[in-house]
Structure 1
């Protein structure tokens, strides 16, 4: 009897230590996972930030310093302001024209594409009609089609319509965002409550007013996402303007800078123009991300419907 009691007393502390050991192992695995995830995020951040840093450094150098000094550090001769001045004044300020063209293409295209995607996504997500799933399937298929595959057919179509080599030839294709419509449909299904819509209808609001006053506010996080995707996509679009445009005064920044880069064999000074132009071209996108990131969050209307 005494031996059994002693054995029980001896084994009890061991049993009491088992949960603590399990917690230590879980904490160790959690720390290891945190370190791995942090390391991956640091590598991804470097992948995106290092090219931007190189552009900033390269824009401060002359063409000679660009190839004779270390690429990731500044040269003794700081030529940033001279380079930017040449960019803005070269060929009667053609870069300013390209910049304004990109602002027009990306700004108008992103706003209208976001609005159309919100309207289509809301309609497909909250209304029930024949062919709903078929239309959504076709749109989903449009997400899988790369823009380069449709550029040539669009050029042939716009040529027959007399719209090639005009602003419309770049702007009209930018108004369609299959991914944006897909995202807005999913978000509308998850966040737009049917009871809220019924309450608005009982108050006498029409369907268009409900969409404008209620739904667009609820879809704000999705709209900001779609807008940023469209803005970046249109701003960086190169192949469609290359196919559609022949007049250099209609070029966006991407096509104009590539035109400058193609002349570096003739005039090395175009290296300075190109690097300075690239630096100026990324500023609007950075501003858009900084300004709109505060809207890029979910749950704006959680608790609005009880």
Structure 2
């Protein structure tokens, strides 16, 4: 027969009280975090929802109906057709230009950032830290501060108002190089590189066969950041380009928006064009997010 002393009873009571308070704090933290994440999600989703709703309206309905709900006349298909066919399909050309600038620029910028970050992390040479410090300084320089000097430089080289004037600056990603260097130091094992060297592999082959595979989560991050940055870039093309056939989507849509006072139909063109411009970024996020999850899982069980 067991007996419970008053001291043991008080100890059990205190333990139960601590457990209840811990559970209460956990529940409160969960509710707080969930609430904050819900607000953040609403903050980002509401503008996209408004753009979709606005793209389904005519210019008259856009101002005569409630902004966050559909008008009786659902004109999405007509608006999209008008966007794609206006001025001999100039929007399609702008769309292709943006894909060229953002796709090629982000891909090459990611590769260069990976190569530079890997080299700074895995090869020790004189001036290594100095170069890395200069790169960190490049992260702090806004793109608007370098647009005018780049324009003057490209004008002297005869590259202004060409595809190269937008594409070449897009190949540089100081943040990407910084991220790849940090990630290379943390994930690329020196023993693995030495084993590859003993097998007779050259440094370039090691980088492409071993380094790039391990750096995949970081590369996806750099690619998406660069893709979104170039796709949404407005100031650099505005400074560099004068020919409307070379415009990216951002510059072209702003050109349409500036004409709404003259022709109200440009409201329909602008809202429809904005909706179409969001689709590639959404697809890129959906397709590439699995590489994030895969990389994080591998790092967790390493």
TM-score (norm 1): 0.95
- Map Cα deviations across residues 82-135 of structure 1 (whole Å, 9 max, x no partner): 000100000000000000000000000000000000000000011100000000
Q: Equivalent of 2:178, from 175, 182, 185? A: 182
Q: 1:41 to 1:301 in 2, by over 3 A?
A: closer
Q: Secondary structure at the match of 1:267?
A: coil
Q: 8 Å contact 1:218–1:301 — kept in the other structure?
A: no
- Provide the residue aligned with 1:282 in structure 2: 278
- CA distance in structure 2 between the aligned counterparts of 1:168 and 1:122, rounded to whole angstroms: 27
- CA distance in structure 2 between the aligned counterparts of 1:288 and 1:273, rounded to whole angstroms: 24
In the alignment, structure 1 residue 230 sits paired with structure 2 residue 230: no
Q: 1:19 to 1:300 in 2, by over 3 A?
A: closer
In the alignment, structure 1 residue 170 sits paired with structure 2 residue 170: no
In the alignment, structure 1 residue 240 sits paired with structure 2 residue 241: no
Report how far residue 9 of structure 1 moved: 2.9
Report how far residue 75 of structure 1 moved: 0.2
- CA distance in structure 1 between the aligned counterparts of 2:271 and 2:166, rounded to whole angstroms: 25
- CA distance in structure 2 between the aligned counterparts of 1:60 and 1:145, rounded to whole angstroms: 40
Q: Equivalent of 1:213, from 202, 209, 213? A: 209
Q: Which has the larger radius of gyration?
A: 1
Report how far residue 17 of structure 1 moved: 1.3
Q: 1:302 to 1:232 in 2, by over 3 A?
A: closer
- CA distance in structure 1 between the aligned counterparts of 2:6 and 2:220, rounded to whole angstroms: 64
- CA distance in structure 1 between the aligned counterparts of 2:157 and 2:277, rounded to whole angstroms: 32
In the alignment, structure 1 residue 45 sits paired with structure 2 residue 41: yes
Q: 8 Å contact 1:122–1:184 — kept in the other structure?
A: yes
- Provide the residue aligned with 1:194 in structure 2: 190
- Provide the residue aligned with 1:262 in structure 2: 258
- Provide the residue aligned with 1:3 in structure 2: none
- CA distance in structure 2 between the aligned counterparts of 1:300 and 1:190, rounded to whole angstroms: 15
- Provide the residue aligned with 1:113 in structure 2: 109
- CA distance in structure 1 between the aligned counterparts of 2:160 and 2:226, rounded to whole angstroms: 22
In the alignment, structure 1 residue 99 sits paired with structure 2 residue 65: no
- Map Cα deviations across residues 169-200 of structure 1 (whole Å, 9 max, x no partner): 00000000000000000000000000000000
Q: Equivalent of 2:26, from 3, 23, 30? A: 30
Aligned residues: 299
Q: 1:192 to 1:304 in 2, by over 3 A?
A: farther
- Provide the residue aligned with 1:61 in structure 2: 57
Q: 8 Å contact 1:170–1:244 — kept in the other structure?
A: yes
Q: Secondary structure at the match of 2:70?
A: coil
- CA distance in structure 1 between the aligned counterparts of 2:246 and 2:285, rounded to whole angstroms: 26
Report how far residue 10 of structure 1 moved: 2.9
- CA distance in structure 1 between the aligned counterparts of 2:141 and 2:169, rounded to whole angstroms: 13
Q: Secondary structure at the match of 2:86?
A: helix
- CA distance in structure 2 between the aligned counterparts of 1:170 and 1:72, rounded to whole angstroms: 36
Give the RMSD, CA atoms, in angstroms: 1.6
Report how far residue 302 of structure 1 moved: 5.4
Structure 1 unpaired stretches of 5+: 1-5
Q: 8 Å contact 1:218–1:300 — kept in the other structure?
A: no
